[in-house]
Amino acid sequence: MSILIKNATIVTMNENRDVFGGDLLIENDRINRIGKLDRYTADMVIDAGNQLLLPGFIQSHVHLCQVLFRGMADDLELLDWLQQRIWPLESSHDEESLYYSSVLGCAELLRGGTTSIIDMATVNHTESVFTAVKQAGIRYLGGKCLMDHGEDVPHNMLDTTDKALQESLELYQRWNNYDNGRIRYALCPRFAVSCSDTLLREVASLSRQYQIPVHTHASENRGEIELVEKERGMRNIIYLDSLGLCHDRLILAHCIHLSQDEMQILVDSKSNIVHCPGSNLKLGSGIAPIPPLLNLGARVSLGADGAPCNNNLSMFMEMRLAALIQKPFHGPRSMPAQAVVEMATRGGARAMGLENEIGSLEEG
């Protein structure tokens, strides 16, 4: 199957960030040619009419399991939002409801130009998420949510440590590298508040042994940070680093309230930070220090998070918010358009470990 897209304004996001008018030829799911292709034809020809042609967006933090909860958890800060709304709602999922939540989420994401996601499922029925992703055709990195600790958690949302790890490994064996690598598995401990020290140490060990990415949350909310300091004696990032979890396979959502030492750990370890401005604003969590992180050389990408903490899964909205919310604090030039689009494309590709495969429009 070949597709020729003609008369487009091509935003390549290549090394030179070239933008030009031209055509793009796809053959056998690979970009074969870019340029003026007047002499070429294809099975399908699309006239772009000088519209923009961009790489598919890559959302580095979403929750397909929460799509049916849109509008059901408003006006709450993070810990109340989880305990009073999200955990009870997630605990009520069965296999069918979770499947349809995931299908609906994939449809919304694809319709909005997102072609790849890093997801965190819920504790139960994770097979339903993978079944939906298999059918949707979206590129996926994610896995079962790991929780074995915490108060005010529905009983069926708390696994034993052994059960959480065993189910995760079984899913890894079934789904990792499915469909020529379109679907890959990640270990997904929810956050330090809902994971025992033993569980997190085992996740670090498995990630190191099998080179599995780790997808989690950290430093989103001041109350969360206080709980971690009280229970573990350290701030979030310093604690995760002490466990051996800060590395280039770590995908860390939010990272709003960071000390200077924590910022440097994330930069030095090449951990992947996911900025979720819509979610951070809705939950009143704060504004992540993205310009200072970028200036230090941090790896930053974007994600909409879950539908009930955002109300949509639009990368265009996340890019707009990411560009605007920093300007009152860091100046009008602090988040230029190119930097924001890079977070939505190349940054996400790097977080997925696929920077040589996706995130830009280039031949090959």
**Going by DSSP bridges, is the β-strand pair 2-11/19-27 parallel, antiparallel, or unpaired?**
antiparallel
What are residue 139's DSSP bridge partners? 116
Q: Can you give the pLDDT at residue 203?
A: 98
User: What are the C-alpha distances in Å from 190 to residues 146, 173, 206, 218, 260?
Assistant: 6, 21, 16, 9, 24
Per-residue pLDDT of the chain (364 residues; tens, 9 = 90+): 999 999 999 999 999 999 999 999 999 999 999 999 999 999 999 999 999 999 999 999 999 999 999 999 999 999 999 999 999 999 999 999 999 999 999 999 999 999 999 999 999 999 999 999 999 999 999 999 999 999 899 999 999 999 999 999 999 999 999 999 999 999 999 999 999 999 999 999 999 999 999 999 999 999 999 999 999 999 999 999 999 999 999 999 999 999 999 999 999 999 999 999 999 999 999 999 999 999 999 999 999 999 999 999 999 999 999 999 999 999 999 999 999 999 999 999 999 999 999 999 999 9
Q: Can you give the pLDDT at residue 282?
A: 98
Q: For tokens 């304004």, what's the residue? A: 9
Q: Can you give the pLDDT at residue 306?
A: 97
Q: Write the DSSP symbol of residue 164.
A: H
Q: Can you give the pLDDT at residue 319?
A: 98
In the chain the beta strands, taken as DSSP E runs, fall at 2-11, 19-27, 30-35, 44-47, 52-53, 57-62, 114-120, 139-143, 145-146, 183-185, 188-189, 214-218, 250-254, 272-275, 299-302
| Residue among 2, 264, 300, 303 nearest 141 (CA) | 303
Q: Can you give the pLDDT at residue 234?
A: 97
Read off the pTM.
0.97
Contacts of 343 (CB under 8 A, 6+ apart): 275, 300, 301, 302, 319, 322
Q: Can you read off the two tokens belonging to residue 155?
A: 């009983």
Q: Which amino acid is at 333?
A: R
Q: How far is residue 245 CA from its own chain's centroid?
A: 17
Domains observed in the chain: 2-53 (2.30.40.10), 57-351 (3.20.20.140)
Q: Can you read off the two tokens belonging to residue 173?
A: 């064996």
Contacts of 64 (CB under 8 A, 6+ apart): 101, 102, 105, 106, 117, 119, 121, 129, 132, 133, 142
Contacts of 333 (CB under 8 A, 6+ apart): none
